[in-house]
Amino acid sequence: MLKKSLLARNNDLANTQRQLEILSNGIFANGELPTFAKKIKATHQFPLRPKKLEILQLNLGYMCNQVCAHCHVDAGPDRKEIMTKETMQQCLDVIKKTAAHTLDLTGGAPEMNPNFRWFVEEASKAGINDFIVRSNLTIIRANKKYYDLPEFFKKYNIHVVSSMPHWTRGKTDKQRGEGVFKTSIKALQELNAVGYGIPNSALKLDLVYNPSGAFLPGDQLALEKDFKNALNEDFNINFHHLFAITNLPISRFLDYLIASENYEDYMISLIEAYNPTAVENVMCTNTISVSWDGWLYDCDFNQMLHLKVASTIQHISDYNEDLLQDRNIIINQHCYGCTAGAGSSCQGVVAN
Amino acid sequence: MSKTYYDPTDLRKFGNITEWSEELGAKFFDYYEKVFEEGALTAREKSLIALAVAHTEQCPYCIDAYTKDGLQRGITKEEMMEAVHVGAAIKSGATLVHSVQMMNKVNKLEM
């Protein structure tokens, strides 16, 4: 079971340049497999360009109470990168004038940022329609100071999106850590108790499913049905929707793929499942990702690879939506993860 | 030429069989795709049946394919192993039920 981040372990892959080298060399350099750029050129989708901006996704910090085996953020208790109140204020200034209708808070565990609650209150006043917090669930039970989070979420009508890799303990704990399943179940029951996830409730509770290994997610609706049946039958838990998300070959998941000798087969699976329809709706076309230190990215994955937006505007302090929207999206081979099968995004599949 | 009879990468070339017989290959793959669609049985149930048969047929390509397919569908390893036991039980049952014929023959021939 992982205890430390790649960074704390001085792992080679904590260096994003190294990750990019791996993604560009080997099977892609020798022409055995097409690069992502070549693939989307063939379907006349290059360069990838933004469409209407809908989502501002803010990463409030890489600190987390869990060390998940597949984490693309390389988050964990040893990560100290946290968004400051000053950067949050700059984000609030942007929130007040952006055309985006959804504010998506992620991490790490965003709730661990000491200014999380202040920020939610201020952002709520700014009148965002859809307000997402990506909660790992166990944070709600991690410490007494977090026990009232379900009530807090409810007060601000926050849409809670939580990770749950399987409806069985074994698979969940293997990916997310010993005891995570039991604590997640308790947290889900507490969210249900205040009204989250109940059929027809306005308090939205969605779950995120990531495969626990070197394989792609199955059909999102079929998985949702299985999750609902099992969680309801075993624990009387309700939730609204399941988002099936493909693991992208970066950071800890890339480390796992290489160590388990699954890297090449996994990349082949992604390419075999390439779907040009999914390219039309990948999340980088409607999202701007902001890092804990205010830099701007096409998506959370590019953020973790330190691939800043290709624009004269690169920092939240200089934010100009018109200029920012007129850019080409930075792509690399990890992008195949968002275009496989029915596609993948922070909101689940993107093509049906 | 490979020096082994089975090469895992050959599974990816399965579709190439249409190159030498387009009509029959295409008919087979259309049929195959249709069989695995949701019907009176769910796609999940069909995946488990396929996994069990993959074992009784001892097809390494099918075992790889339907193990991965099962994982993608959220099928647990316990469910997979139970499915394989169903296949194994039918295989061994099929062997053992023939022993009735052996018994019949013995009873007929022995004084």
| Each residue's pLDDT expressed in tens, for chain A with a length of 352 residues | 788 999 999 999 999 999 999 999 989 998 889 999 999 999 999 999 999 999 999 999 999 999 999 999 999 999 999 999 999 999 999 999 999 999 999 999 999 999 999 999 999 998 887 899 999 999 999 999 999 999 999 999 999 999 988 898 888 888 888 899 999 999 999 999 999 999 999 999 999 999 999 999 999 999 999 999 999 999 999 999 999 999 999 999 999 999 999 999 999 999 999 999 999 999 999 999 999 999 999 999 999 999 999 999 999 999 999 999 999 999 999 999 999 999 999 989 998 6
Cβ contacts of B109 within 8 Å, gap of 6 or more: none
- Which residue do the tokens 């690169």 mark? A314
Residue B1 has pLDDT above 80, yes or no: no
Provide the edge-to-edge strand list for the sheet that holds A287-290: A242-244, A205-209, A159-163, A130-135, A102-106, A55-59, A287-290, A296-297
Tell whether B76 lies on the interface with A, counting CB pairs under 8 A.
yes
How far is A24 from A331, CA to CA, in rounded Å?
11
**Interface contact B71-A222, CB threshold 8 A:** no
Tens digit of each residue's pLDDT (9 = 90 or more) over B15-59: 999 999 999 999 999 999 999 999 999 999 999 999 999 999 999
Q: Which residue of B has its CA nearest to A169?
A: B76
pLDDT in tens, A150-209: 999 999 999 999 998 889 888 888 888 889 999 999 999 999 999 999 999 999 999 999
Q: Is B72 on the interface with A (CB under 8 A)?
A: yes
Asked if the C-beta of A229 comes within 8 angstroms of chain B's C-beta atoms, the answer is no
Domain boundaries, chain A: 12-338
Q: What whole-number distance in Å separates Cα of residue A164 and Cα of residue A207?
A: 6
Instruction: List chain A residues with CB under 8 Å of B73.
Output: 218-219, 222-223, 226
Q: Token digits for A279?
A: 């390219």
Nearest chain B residue to A272, by CA: B12
Query: Does B15 reach chain A within 8 Å, measured CB to CB?
Result: no
- Fold (CATH) for A12-338: TIM Barrel (3.20.20)
- Does A171 lie at the interface with B, CB-CB under 8 angstroms? yes
Tabulate helix, strand, coil % of chain B (nearest 5).
75, 0, 25
Nearest-Cα residue of chain B relative to residue A212? B71
The domains located in chain B, with CATH, are 36-109 (1.20.1290.10)
- Give the ipTM: 0.82
Instruction: Name the DSSP letter for residue A160.
Output: E
